[in-house]
Every structure is written in structure tokens, then in C-alpha cells.
Amino acid sequence: MTTHTYAATLTWSGSTGQGYDSYDRAHRMAPEGAPELTVSADPAFRGDPALLNPEQLLLAAASSCQLLSFLAIAARARLDVVDYVDRATAVMPEDQPPTRITEIVLRPHITLRGPGSAKIQRLVDLAHKECFIANSISAQIRIEPSVDVVD
């Protein structure tokens, strides 16, 4: 079996000497072999609303992994998926310690060319079971797919 490893370097500089309200939350994240990202905290935690935050990155990772798993399964099943749009959401209640993302809802709208729409739910469920990110996080993940068929 192969073990996959991933590396990233995260850097921040500034000063927390003036207390919680004053320090800059922006930091740089450099995944190995990929472009550097500038990330901040959620605006609710005094972050920069113009930058991505870790909670958004977690949601994006879950959505992206589901997409990639689904496309691989659909391709192996010889289904012609021509479009996939996911309007995903995540919920992080502060009144349920420890504060964490408790639920992710993925809402993929899948456009399929030709027959096969009857198989979609089964393939979406299989993709979820194979999704590495879904298997790595404790938040409940629900998937609410919809399907269009085009000629």
C-alpha cells in the first residue's frame, strides 16, 4: 500500500502584545507544490472578510473531495456528467462547546448527458463513502443532490 503525505508551511508575523483586539489575523499558507494562499480568521473573530478563512477551506475541501470522488465513479460507470455545481454550506454553532463545524450540507446539481439518472443517488452515496476528506472529519455531512438530464 502507498502512504500519501502532504506538507504545507504556514507563516505569520506581527505582535499580540496589544491584546486580542489588535493583532493581524492574516497569515500565509504555502502547500508544497501549490500557490501560496493568504488566509485570515472569520470576520466574526476579527478576520479580514476579503480573505479565505479555515472554516471556508474545510467546507471547500469537503465539497471538492465529493466532486472528485463522484466524477471518478461516474467515469468508471461510463456516465457522461457534463456539469456539477455544489452550493455547499457549513454550520458552526458557538453555543455547543467545543466550537466546531457540526454539519456540512453538500447540494450538488449534476447535469448528465444521456441515460443513467436512476443510478445517480447510489453513485453519490458511494462517492461519499470513498471521499478522503469526509472520512477524515467528524462533522455530519449530508448530501442533497439534484439531477438534470440533457440530450
- Condensed to tens digits (0 to 9), the pLDDT of residues 97-150 reads 999 999 999 999 999 998 878 899 999 999 999 999 999 999 999 999 999 999
Strand 27-31 and strand 37-39: the pairing is: antiparallel
For the chain, how many structural domains are there in total?
2
Residues 108 and 74 occupy one common structural domain: yes
Return the residue matching grid coordinates 483586539.
21
The arithmetic mean of pLDDT across residues 2-8, rounded, is: 94
> Tell me, what DSSP letter sits at residue 52?
B
Instruction: Please indicate, yes or no, if residue 29 is contained in any of the structural domains.
Output: yes
Task: Classify strands 8-11 and 27-31 as parallel, antiparallel or unpaired.
Answer: antiparallel
Orientation angle between helical segments 120-130 and 54-76, nearest 10 degrees: 130
The verdict on residue 75 lying in a domain is yes
Whether residue 107 sits in one domain with residue 89: yes
Averaged pLDDT for residues 30-38: 96
Residue 3 located in a structural domain: no
Instruction: Specify if 103 maps to a domain.
Output: yes
Name the residue range of residue 104's domain.
Answer: 54-150
Structural domain contains residue 2: no
CB 64 within 8 A of CB 118: no
Across the chain, mean pLDDT equals 95
- The span from the CA of 60 to the CA of 58, in Å, is 5
The C-alpha cell that represents 36 in the structure block: 501560496
Answer yes or no: do 67 and 29 share one domain: no
Per-residue model confidence (pLDDT) at position 92:
96
Statement to judge: residues 79 and 110 lie in one domain:
yes
The reported pLDDT for the residue numbered 56 is: 97
Q: Report pLDDT for 30.
A: 96
Residue 23's pLDDT band (cuts 50, 70, 90): very high
Looking at residue 60, what is its pLDDT?
Answer: 97
Report whether pLDDT(151) > 90: no
- Residues 76, 101, single domain; the answer is yes
Q: What is the tens place of the pLDDT at every residue in 50-108?
A: 999 999 999 999 999 999 999 999 999 999 999 999 999 999 999 989 999 999 999 99
Same domain, 23 and 87: no
Is the domain of 16 the same as that of 86? no
SS3 (DSSP) at 139: coil
* Judgement on whether residues 39 and 101 belong to the same structural domain of the protein: no
Residue 110: all three cell numbers together? 449534476
